[in-house]
């Protein structure tokens, strides 16, 4: 049997949202307990003895920020000695996607504040959370090369331009509108609706689309080679 270990286990969640006019945002909470008291940090905390890792993440997201996530995947485990001043703490980071407009953030007893931050404009962060977000951003940017993306991030019904802007934001370059539409149509994941976007700006109102969920998740599972 092993010598007694003195290592503790936490989970952290990097939850991304997309706001068409603003860009990619990440959910942060303000800590109410030391260390890093009053610092911004990723939602997360210690794993309970009998709960699954996913349950721990879900629980922390709910209690610290009032957020319920459908899409969560494991990101990476961070375990360098010294990453936590309290001693050896290994953290399993998760990666989530949500539509920020679906939630009213609710800071609870566990956090004095919860807020979305643009990933281009992050505050100083507790622990190694800046590094964790870096890895998560890489994962997000890579994802679009072999998976359809957008379902979890956009409104149920959206104009194609929003999806295109999401890709442009993640790829950090402009995309030809016409070619983009051809490719997306070719994937067959969009359903057109007989509805037009309510005017928010000038110009012709856009048709609204939604994802064909069956096909979307099939492609997500199979993987695609999607080069825009």
Residue 50 makes contact with a copy of itself by CB under 8 A: yes
Residue 220 makes contact with a copy of itself by CB under 8 A: no
- Determine contact, residues 161/193, Cβ cutoff 8 Å: no
Which CB sits closer to DNA, 117 or 180? Answer: 180
CA 5/CA 63 separation, integer angstroms: 29
User: Torsions phi, psi of 111, nearest 5?
Assistant: -145, 140
Residue 32 is encoded by which pair of tokens? 């109410």
Give the one residue of 130, 195, 196, 213 binding DNA; rule: CB under 7 A.
196
Residue 7 makes contact with a copy of itself by CB under 8 A: yes
Residue 205 makes contact with DNA by CB under 7 A: yes
Residue 81 is encoded by which pair of tokens? 């000695």
CA 18/CA 150 separation, integer angstroms: 9
> Which positions from 73 through 92 interact with a copy of itself, judged by CB under 8 A?
74, 76-77, 79-81, 86, 88, 90, 92
Which CB sits closer to DNA, 120 or 177? Answer: 177
Which CB sits closer to a copy of itself, 77 or 199? Answer: 77
Q: How far is the CB of 129 from a copy of itself (least distance, A)?
A: 18
Q: Is 184 helix (H, G, I), strand (E, B) or coil?
A: helix
- Determine contact, residues 158/210, Cβ cutoff 8 Å: yes
Q: How far is the CB of 197 from DNA (least distance, A)?
A: 7
What are the helix and strand counts (H, E) for the chain? 5, 9
Q: How far is the CB of 16 from a copy of itself (least distance, A)?
A: 20
Of 115, 94, 139, residue with least CA distance to 25:
115
CA 114/CA 71 separation, integer angstroms: 19
> Which positions from 96 through 155 interact with a copy of itself, judged by CB under 8 A?
142, 145-146
Residue 47 makes contact with a copy of itself by CB under 8 A: yes
Handedness of CA 56, 59, 62, 67 (dihedral sign): positive
Q: Is 38 helix (H, G, I), strand (E, B) or coil?
A: coil
Partners of residue 95 on adjacent β-strands: 14, 73
Q: Which stretch binds DNA (CB under 7 A): 37-45, 68-76, 150-158, 181-189?
A: 181-189
Q: How far is the CB of 202 from a copy of itself (least distance, A)?
A: 38
Which CB sits closer to a copy of itself, 60 or 162? Answer: 60
Residues engaged in binding a copy of itself (CB under 8 A): 1-3, 5-9, 45-53, 74, 76-77, 79-81, 86, 88, 90, 92, 142, 145-146, 223, 225, 227
């Amino acid at each position: 049997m092993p010598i007694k270990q003195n290592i503790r286990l936490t989970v952290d969640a990097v939850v991304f949202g997309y706001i068409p006019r603003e860009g990619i945002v990440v959910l942060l909470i303000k800590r109410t307990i030391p260390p890093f008291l009053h610092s911004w940090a990723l939602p997360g905390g210690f794993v309970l003895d009998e709960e699954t890792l996913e349950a721990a993440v879900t629980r922390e997201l709910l209690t610290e920020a009032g957020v319920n996530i459908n899409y969560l995947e494991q990101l990476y485990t961070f375990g360098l000695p010294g990453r936590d001043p309290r001693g050896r703490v290994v953290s399993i980071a998760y990666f989530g996607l949500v539509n920020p407009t679906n939630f009213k953030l609710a800071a609870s007893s566990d956090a004095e504040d919860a807020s979305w931050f643009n990933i281009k404009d992050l505050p100083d962060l507790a622990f190694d959370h800046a590094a964790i977000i870096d890895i998560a951003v890489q994962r997000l940017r890579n994802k679009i090369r072999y998976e359809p993306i957008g379902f979890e991030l956009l409104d149920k019904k959206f104009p194609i331009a929003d999806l295109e802007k999401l890709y442009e934001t993640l790829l950090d370059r402009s995309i030809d509108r016409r070619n983009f539409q051809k490719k997306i149509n070719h994937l067959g994941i969009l359903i057109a609706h007989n509805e037009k976007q309510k005017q928010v700006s000038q110009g012709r109102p856009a048709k609204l689309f939604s994802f064909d969920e069956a096909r979307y998740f099939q492609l997500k599972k199979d993987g695609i080679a999607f080069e825009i």
